[in-house]
Amino acid sequence: MSPSGKRSASFARLKLRSRGWLGSLLLAALAFGFVVPILWMLTTSFQAGDRMYELSTVWIPSAWHFENYSNALSRSPFSQYFLNSGIVAIAVMVSNVVFCTIAGYGLAKFRFPGDRYVLLVILATLMLPLEVTLVPTFLVIHGFGWLNTYQGLAGPFLIDAFGVFLMRQSMLSIPADYIEAARMDGAGELRILLQIIVPQCLPALAVLAVFSFRDNWDQFLWPLTVVSQDEFRTFPLGLVRFAEDYGSPPTEQLAIAVLATIPTVLLFVVLQRAVNRGFGLSGLK
Amino acid sequence: MAGVTLRDVVKRYGTVEAVRGISLDIPDKQFVALVGPSGCGKSTMLRMIAGLEEITEGEICLGGEVINDVAPKDRDIAMVFQNYALYPHMSVFENMSFGLRMRRIPASEIRKRVEDAAAILDITELLGRRPRQLSGGQRQRAAMGRAIVRNPQVFLFDEPLSNLDAKLRVQMRTEIKRLHQKIRTTTIYVTHDQVEAMTLADCVVVMNGGLIEQFGPPQDLYHAPRTRFVAGFIGSPAMNFLDCRLEQRATGLSLSLAGGLCFAVPVSRSERYRPWVGKPILFGLRPEHITDVRDHAREDRAEFTVTMDVVESSGMETMVYFMIGEAEVCGRVETSRAVEPGQSMQLQANLGHMHLIDPATNLVI
């Protein structure tokens, strides 16, 4: 290679490397932006209550006030609130994983009259925010007599249009040959779904599980609408009530917020590998 | 093992007729290749035999029993798919044993059958691997293993070699042939590659536009095609076709071609062709029957001189391309006798192998 050729090759390498560095820098800045509030929440939950409003942020408390946690938990029945949130979020997550998988399979791999319109109607429901459907949904739940019940809290979210779409898209990429090979091997439709299709959709299923758990774990507006009794209150409602009733130091509220973050983080950690692959599938981030 | 019979089988997708009334009898233990261009209906026919497509009209019988309404799993037919369709989350052993597990065969019997099949296909050491850890040829073998462990009455192959590179394709072709010789199960093999069909099959079915053009042993199709389509489709390079006119001369029948060429029809064929005297007709001759001059004495040889356009040498032989009238013609000459492009060369047409086709019906006369 001529000297000028060598120079241009090394310049191209340098350019590529600097572009890589620039990308990493941008990602680091973005990650910093996401992590700072969480770190702030974490450290502030151990601060003394009166240090909360100081202008300068103290990242490492001079004294660690672990009692913020026990105080917050003793003032209000948060264990019950967490249990309620957990029951609702797990019920919705399991139901979404089951029903969205079945519906997605039907829409992805079977042709029936009007199948495209069924998909369009399902997708159309994605365009309507909860605020729009809140009153009619409330009236339905009220009509069922489900106010102040777990089924009232979870019912409207048991099958999610986004989940159906996500699973359909994931299954569309699975060649029909697998299904036909399994049919010839003697497998029935349910076995094909469970043993051939689902194992190939685990990333999408993991994304669906994390999303549906997260969305329902910290759901606020719907529980506020259908729950008036303390025994069915979920933790976001409990947190608001806690703030209103006790005017308690925000450090204790943040202690509850830290505890509330743990289940979602744990679920993400458990499913992390599959979720990371699934984000690519769903085009989500 | 059993034979397969199709009676007036039709497949329609809306108004489109993909298969148009096909009848075919495939005897037990035969290796039959369905060959034809894309969209000719060969894969549809295979899928109907497998039970993966419903039959619009007609009957399909397996071992004498009509199986139109029998579910794929109950047909006792195994299929090797074009992309192998090996379940990616299962090992080769699990893939091969899946069908047996579905049929609730005891675990010890499953292990024995899988191991036997793996030994036949030489994939014993691959049984623990996942499909993504296999090469193309190994996947192909695993897919065949999945089919043979079931010990079915019929094997179906849907273009199984089309994803392999040229060298591996030749190797796997031999292995499939060897496998059939070993287990002698009725096999129906779909391909668009006529070389594959000719080399593998006991009988070749040439399909075109949803119909069977011809069905017979490979050599029959090659040497005695019944239609222009079969004459042109079977053989590589393809048969040369030239417009001509059949004339009665004092010396006998002769073919008058473009560029002033005139070939005397061999006496043995004169009676057959006489009704077409004075009519336009299509003359067909394979490239290997247009050679350098080798044998002057024979009455069925015609010599002519042309200017070469393209000369392609492949070592063992040389293909020469030249024009007769508007048509490009291909011949096969000895490499040592080939001339340079632009030079003229004397060639010889072996008219003992010519085909005359009625352009009105496209049938070989």
Q: Which domains does chain B have, with CATH numbers?
A: 4-228 (3.40.50.300), 240-364 (2.40.50.140)
Both A182 and A257 in a single domain? yes
Residue A93 lies in domain: 75-282
Contacts of B237 (CB under 8 A, 6+ apart): B287, B319, B330
Model confidence pLDDT, tens digit, residues A208-227: 999 999 999 989 999 999 99
Model confidence pLDDT, tens digit, residues B279-314: 889 999 999 999 988 766 677 788 888 999 999 988
Both A19 and A137 in a single domain? no
Both A166 and A261 in a single domain? yes
Residue A180, chain B, CB below 8 Å: the answer is yes
Judge whether A56 lies within some domain. no
Q: Tell me the ipTM for this assembly.
A: 0.82
Find the Cα–Cα–Cα–Cα dihedral A22, A28, A29, A35, rounded to 10°.
170
Residue in chain B closest to A182 (alpha carbons) equals: B99
For residue A283, what pLDDT band results from cuts at 50, 70 and 90? very low
Both A141 and A259 in a single domain? yes
Q: Domain containing A186 — which CATH number?
A: 1.10.3720.10
Both A154 and A16 in a single domain? no
- Answer left, alpha or beta for residue A182, where phi above 0 means left and psi between -120 and 50 means alpha: alpha
Both A128 and A192 in a single domain? yes
* Residue found under tokens 């050679």: B291
CA distance A138 to A85: 19
Judge whether A53 lies within some domain. no
A129 upstream amide cis, omega within 30 of 0: no
Residue A231, chain B, CB below 8 Å: the answer is no
Cross-chain residue pair A187–B51, CB shorter than 8 Å:
no
Q: What pLDDT does residue B172 have?
A: 84
Helix (H, G, I), strand (E, B) or coil at B127: coil
Both A114 and A253 in a single domain? yes
Model confidence pLDDT, tens digit, residues A29-77: 999 999 998 998 888 888 877 666 666 677 777 778 888 888 888 888 8
Both A210 and A275 in a single domain? yes
Both A20 and A137 in a single domain? no
Expressed in angstroms, the distance from the first to the final Cα of chain B is: 39
Helix (H, G, I), strand (E, B) or coil at B121: helix
Model confidence pLDDT, tens digit, residues A109-137: 998 899 999 999 999 988 888 888 999 99
CA distance B78 to B201: 18
CA distance A202 to A274: 7
CA distance B208 to B40: 5
Both A21 and A107 in a single domain? no
Both A136 and A237 in a single domain? yes
Judge whether A241 lies within some domain. yes
Per-residue pLDDT tens digits of chain B, which is 365 residues long: 688 999 999 999 988 989 999 999 999 999 999 999 988 999 999 999 999 999 999 999 998 889 999 999 888 899 999 888 999 989 999 999 999 999 999 999 999 999 998 988 889 999 999 998 998 889 988 998 999 898 899 999 998 888 888 888 888 888 888 888 888 899 999 998 888 899 899 999 999 999 999 999 999 999 999 999 999 999 888 999 999 999 888 888 888 888 788 888 888 888 888 888 888 899 999 999 999 887 666 777 888 889 999 999 888 889 999 999 888 999 999 988 888 999 999 999 998 899 999 998 999 98
Residue A185, chain B, CB below 8 Å: the answer is yes
Q: How many domains does chain A have?
A: 2
Both A33 and A150 in a single domain? no
| Helix residue ranges per DSSP H, B237-339 | 267-273
Range with lowest mean pLDDT among A15-19, A106-110, A278-282, B142-146: A278-282
Judge whether A59 lies within some domain. no
Q: What pLDDT does residue B171 have?
A: 84
The answer to whether the CB of B37 falls within 8 A of the CB of B91 is no
Judge whether A87 lies within some domain. yes
Cross-chain residue pair A181–B50, CB shorter than 8 Å:
no
Count Cβ neighbours within 10 Å for each residue of A253-273 and write b for 16 or more, e otherwise: bbbbbbbbeebbeebbeebee
A177: closest CA among B1, B146, B197? Answer: B146
**Which residues from B are below 8 Å from A186, CB to CB?**
73, 99, 102-103
**Which residues from B are below 8 Å from A200, CB to CB?**
88-89
Judge whether A70 lies within some domain. no
Nearest residue, CB atoms, A186 vs list B82, B85, B103 = B103
Q: HSE (CB half, 13 Å, CA atoms) of A247?
A: 1
Judge whether A52 lies within some domain. no
Contacts of A216 (CB under 8 A, 6+ apart): A85, A88, A89, A92, A93, A154, A157
Judge whether A140 lies within some domain. yes
Residue A283, chain B, CB below 8 Å: the answer is no
Contacts of A148 (CB under 8 A, 6+ apart): A226, A227, A228, A229, A232
